[in-house]
């Protein structure tokens, strides 16, 4: 099932009743990265259950609200908590908020996530700018009839992650004195983490990081003509690289450690 334009407008209308701010930039905050929400000025919090047609967020560490306000003097809409396929949501549900952002007037989104490091030169705590992605979810949010008012039937994905924004992110990181890694994000369905054999496969395919989100949202954003910048927090190394098992606790602990670096980077990018 896919959502209709009417449903998107209903969600937008409910949101616009709560604020006069018209957001231009959308921020999607991944696991453990929700702290950025505390930086929003003049925040208006809108729990997802108060927005028509929004699914309900079910994962720990995902608050589940939209926050509209100002960040570095820019009007922003923040998704604190996103929807994942592994929760049982359809690709349409996972990407509905992107459609609503488009209705609100958003022209640029910054997508973030926690991801496992596949590239062995990465270390937990690194931030990786997404240069490109590989979709191993085997689902596409554009499947089904295409509404040509929303975008073309066969959208180009050859520069899904905006090269100007990537350049800007590198400059900001450099100013702030750290190296921003860059690489290919590979999206899998989850929720089990990968086996060591699957990680070797992903590395052979050209993946540098692996996670369970982001790609559906980016596909819909590009279909809608929204510019995209993506940043992964390498929260742990993927299976088979280090001796210890993987855990969600480690993902959250690393996110906690990098939060100030992450906040400064995002604020710097938005300021510029
Ligand atoms: Cl190792 N795999 C996946 N699929 N998602 C992750 C992860 C690994 N680490 C954080 N998120």
Q: State yes or no: pLDDT of 35 exceeds 90.
A: no
Ligand 1 atom closest to 199 (CA):
1
Q: List pLDDT tens digits, range 256-267.
A: 888 889 999 999
Measure 228 CA to ligand 1 centroid, in angstroms: 21
Q: By alpha-carbon position, which residue is closest to atom 4 of ligand 1?
A: 211
Sign of CA dihedral 242, 248, 251, 252: negative
Please state the pTM of the whole predicted model.
Answer: 0.95
- Taking each helix axis as running N to C, give the angle between helix 91-104 and helix 215-223, from 0 to 180 degrees, rounded to the nearest 10: 40
The confidence band for 60, taking pLDDT boundaries of 50, 70 and 90, is low
- Output the pLDDT for position 129: 97
| Model confidence pLDDT, tens digit, residues 239-252 | 999 888 888 888 88
Annotated active-site residue 213? The verdict is yes
CA of 116 to the centre of ligand 1 (A): 4
Residue 61 has pLDDT above 60, yes or no: no
Contacts with 159 (C-beta within 8 Å, 6 or more apart), sequence order:
none
Question: Is 86 labeled as catalytic in the residue annotation?
Answer: yes
Q: Is 114 in the pocket of ligand 1 (CB under 6 A)?
A: yes
Indicate which atom in ligand 1 lies nearest the CA of residue 211. 5
Given 2, 8, 11, 31, the catalytic residue: 31
Nearest to 75 by CA among 5, 13, 15: 15
- Helix locations, 88-237, DSSP H: 91-104, 163-175, 196-205, 215-223
pLDDT in tens, 168-213: 999 999 999 988 999 999 999 999 999 999 999 999 999 999 999 9
* Preceding amide of 164 cis, omega within 30: no
**Which strand (E) or helix (H) includes residue 114?**
strand 108-117
ipTM of the complex: 0.98
- Hey, which of 115, 119, 213 would you mutate to test ligand 1's pocket, going by the most ligand atoms within 8 Å of its Cβ? 115
- Work out the average pLDDT over 127-147: 96
pLDDT digits (tens, 9 = 90+) for 64-109: 899 999 999 999 999 998 899 999 999 999 999 999 999 999 999 9
193 Cα to the center of ligand 1, angstroms: 6
Buried b (16+ CB within 10 A) or exposed e, 205-219: eebbbbbbbbbbbbb
Burial of 228 (0-12, 13-18, 19+ CB in 10 A): buried
Distance 93 CA to ligand 1 centre (A): 21
DSSP character at residue 208: S
On the question of pLDDT at 58 being above 90, the answer is no
pLDDT at 63 over 60: no
Q: How much is the average pLDDT of 4-14?
A: 94
């Amino acid at each position: 099932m896919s959502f209709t334009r009417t449903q998107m407008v209903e969600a937008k209308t409910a949101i616009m009743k709560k604020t006069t701010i018209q957001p231009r930039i959308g921020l999607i905050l991944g696991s453990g990265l929700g702290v950025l929400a505390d930086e929003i000025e003049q925040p208006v919090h809108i729990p997802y259950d108060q927005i028509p047609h929004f699914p309900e967020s079910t994962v720990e560490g995902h608050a589940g609200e939209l926050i509209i306000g100002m960040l570095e003097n820019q009007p922003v809409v923040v998704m604190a908590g996103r929807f994942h396929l592994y929760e049982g949501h359809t690709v349409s549900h996972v990407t509905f908020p992107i459609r609503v952002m488009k209705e609100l007037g958003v022209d640029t989104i910054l997508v973030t996530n926690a991801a496992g490091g596949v590239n062995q030169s990465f270390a937990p705590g690194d931030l990786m700018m997404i240069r490109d992605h590989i979709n191993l979810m085997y689902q596409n949010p554009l499947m089904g009839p295409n509404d040509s008012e929303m975008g073309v039937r066969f959208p180009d994905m050859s520069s899904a992650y905006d090269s100007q924004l990537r350049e800007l992110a590198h400059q900001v990181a450099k100013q702030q004195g750290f190296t921003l890694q860059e690489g290919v994000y590979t999206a899998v369905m989850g929720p089990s983490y990968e086996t060591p054999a699957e990680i070797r496969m992903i590395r052979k395919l050209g993946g540098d990081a692996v996670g369970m989100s982001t790609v559906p949202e980016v596909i819909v954003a590009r279909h809608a003509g929204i510019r995209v910048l993506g940043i992964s927090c390498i929260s742990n190394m993927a299976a088979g690289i280090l001796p210890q098992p993987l855990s969600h606790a480690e993902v959250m602990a690393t996110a906690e450690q990098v939060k100030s670096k992450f906040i400064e980077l995002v604020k710097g990018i938005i300021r510029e």
